[in-house]
Amino acid sequence: MRIIILTIATAILTLLSRPAFSQETRPTSEKDTISVQNRIKTLETEKARQIALEKQDLKEKISNVEEQLAANEINKEEAEALKMDFAKAAAKNIENRSAIIDNQIALLARNEDINVEDSSFKLVFNTDSGRFFGFEFENNNDTVLKVKYDIRTTSSLLIAAGLNNAIIEGQSLEDSPYKIGGSRFFEIGWVWKTRVFEQSNWLRFNYGFSFQFNGLKMEDNQYFVERGDQTVLETFPLDLDKSKLRFDNFVIPLHFEIGTSEKVVKEDRIRYKTDHKFKLGLGGYAGLNLKTIQKLKYEEDGNDRKDKLKRNYNTNNFIYGLSGYVGLDNFSVYLKYDLNTIFKDNPVDERNVSLGVRFDL
């Protein structure tokens, strides 16, 4: 299947590349033909070298199996099975590597009339093992065919939840009029993560969009009332079973994320795996308040009442703040803090703060 895919890709890319080579029609010179032939010889030499490397690698693996058998670490049946597996893998590797080079030879042979003086060609290797990795063939600085590739941007579902409260000017959280355990937040969105550097994954840029639902549950039978340009807490005339103010926000989160990763190099691609790896993200967010709702639950004249009051409550419409997370793999501890005040014109500033867990799924 890989040979078929490579053949089809080579054919398509050859067709796409023809306009770049036919900008100026000129006869094929003897010099061009010799240059192409030299490149074909280089590829044939590399093909032979790769086959020799695979055979040498197989020889070393079989020798290691013989040593394990002699030391009674494995039995004869296990040794034979290992030898067979190694032999099959080596044969498949030779087949795949040969197919890649054979396709490049065929490409050069079909295009002997290209302007080789304006072209560049190089083999690409895995620098750790010396194995043939792919090839690049360029004309007038435009890459025509490149087998080597990697993924630079990934995306994931963002889900976060935890405790919510407000930092009030001149007060500590212990004196907060909002319940510590009863005030919560929830966030859901979609984020993209892009490696900042092409050849490294230690620094990533994390960005996207999300919906934040921040709730404040009031203590001592209090609820919010608009008094002109200010929003104040007052005692409700009846016994409240529930009193909660919720802010629904749409924000754009932006973070720079640093962390470790495992670089995985294969024949046709590079991957950076962050499974079970440390990460630290620092940044912020900005957006809009979509809706503010106050929910009151109480009993009146023997009847249960549930009021859902959708009002402005003099809240700030523009939301912005700082946020960060630290964790492993897809899980992290998450902290966010609004730099904008909750209410526009209140004499005492209040700013929303949240602490919870975050999942990038």
Q: What is the pLDDT of residues 33-92, one digit of tens each?
A: 556 677 778 888 888 888 888 888 888 888 888 888 888 888 888 888 888 888 888 888
Sign of the dihedral defined by the CA atoms of residues 173, 177, 182, 187, in that order: negative
User: Do residues 187 and 224 both lie within one domain?
Assistant: yes
In a domain, 75, yes or no: yes
Residue 9 within any structural domain of the chain: no
Asked whether residue 86 falls in the same domain as residue 140, the answer is yes
Q: Which of 118, 146, 174 is the last residue of a domain?
A: 146
What's the pTM? 0.58
The token duo for 7 is 């053949």
Shared-domain flag, residues 137 and 174: no
Q: Whole-angstrom distance between the N-terminal and C-terminal Cα of the chain?
A: 31
241 falls within a domain: yes
- Mind listing the pLDDT tens digit for each residue in 122-165? 555 444 444 544 545 444 444 444 445 567 888 999 999 999 99
Q: Which of 146, 179, 204 is the last residue of a domain?
A: 146
Domain that holds residue 82: 14-146
Highest mean pLDDT among 28-42, 78-92, 206-220, 290-304: 206-220
Percentage of the chain beyond pLDDT 70 is: 78
Element (H, E) at 148: none
Distances 199 to 141, 204, 263, 268, 272 between C-alpha atoms, Å = 20, 12, 10, 15, 10
In a domain, 4, yes or no: no
Question: Which residue type sits at 75?
Answer: N
Say if CB 326 and CB 333 are below 8 A apart.
Answer: yes
* pLDDT greater than 90 at residue 175: no
Residues 175 and 304 occupy one common structural domain: yes
User: Do 235 and 101 fall within a single domain?
Assistant: no
Residue type, 339: L
Residue 111 shares a structural domain with residue 174: no
Same domain assignment for residues 203 and 257 = yes
Same-domain status, 177 and 277:
yes
Tokens of 180: 């510590």
Please state the domain count of the chain: 2
26 has pLDDT over 50: no
The mean predicted confidence, pLDDT, of the chain is 79
**Residue 252 belongs to some domain of the structure:** yes
